[in-house]
Amino acid sequence: MAHVSTNEQKNGRAAPAPAAHAERNPGCAFDRGWVDEIRINRSAVERRAATLPGRRTVKQHWQAAWLLRAVECMDLTTLAGDDTPGTVRRLCGKARQPVRADILEALGVPHVRVGAVCVYHAFVATAADALRGSGIPVAAVSTGFPAGQTPFDLKLREIAASVADGAAEIDIVISRQHALNGDWQALYDEVRAFRAACGDAHMKTILATGELGTLRTVAQASVVCMMAGADFIKTSTGKETANATLPVSLVMARAIREYGERTGYKIGFKPAGGIRTAKQSLDWLTLMKEELGDEWLRPELFRIGASSLLGDIERQLEHFVTGQYSASFRHPMA
């Protein structure tokens, strides 16, 4: 069997060679004119998004390579009310070895790891201890996740507490009322303060797109958050009725592209919520490659927020190795 390399590239089908780490986005002054001029053609966005799943048919060892890249770009997540230190440590163990060793050996891949482990603040210290020495960062959801309906000073304190406990990444939620009311200056000021509280920790800004109403509002909120210094923009908390969708992700990806063209800074993108199958992960990798380029096929600029996705990817990789589908219970998420 041909070995699979995550650096293989042919006809634009596999992951690119390693890219230099992008300089961090410092943000820029608030520009109301830029925000007001944004227009979105919804029907055109939906037509384009509908073509993405069929544009690149990735098969055999190319598919295996892309699925391994999806694992590397995954924020392995547990955000349940019944989380315990034990379940978090178990999740971190899976993060260290996300794909079974026998499958990796058959693929000719020495090791693979996830992009980060994402947990509530209460479990940041537990996760940091469990991941020590692995190089895998801990991401903490913050600022009153998921609704964001807590006092502003408590939001800042929560960020600081998570950073102190060992979080290298902070996934903040915006106050949706600022976006829904068109109070873009208030949103900018809020996110700017969150960025300052994060310090050296990278900030992913969750828009909760399912609650923003229109694609134009999604685009405007994306631009304002990037102006305020977001390192990533993220679709959803995973708790809304509607989470990551290809049309919303397309609008956000194009906002990232425009911001890069205007400022020279590269912003990361994270879809989250509802991405449960290996096939869906390929759709989002295709979106990144088509709209933003090969640099956005790496964890520095792309993450998938997921809790159950890993099990299906591992199952598909075993099918590639053995030619047979195994029972789902052989591939627990963590």
Residues belonging to the active site: 171, 234, 270
Nearest CA to 118 among 297, 306, 310, 276?
A: 306
Nearest CA to 239 among 81, 75, 46?
A: 81
Task: Kindly state the tokens that stand for 76.
Answer: 């392995």
Q: Which residues of 264-300 are buried (b: 16+ CB within 10 A; e: fewer)?
A: ebbbbbbbbbbbeebebbbbbbbbbbbbbeebbbbbb
- Asked if 223 and 35 touch (Cβ cutoff 8 Å), the reply is yes
In sequence order, which ranges of 11-169 are alpha helices (DSSP H)? Answer: 32-36, 42-55, 60-72, 85-96, 101-107, 124-130, 152-165
d(CA 30, CA 223): 10
Phi, psi (deg, nearest 5) at residue 116: -170, 170
- Which residues lie below 8 Å from residue 298, measured CB to CB, with a gap of 6+? 15, 16, 18, 19, 69, 72, 73
Q: Is the peptide bond before 146 cis (omega within 30 degrees of 0)?
A: yes
- Which residues lie below 8 Å from residue 304, measured CB to CB, with a gap of 6+? 70, 73, 74, 75, 270, 271, 272, 275, 281, 284
- Asked if 176 and 148 touch (Cβ cutoff 8 Å), the reply is yes
- Asked if 218 and 251 touch (Cβ cutoff 8 Å), the reply is yes
d(CA 224, CA 174): 11
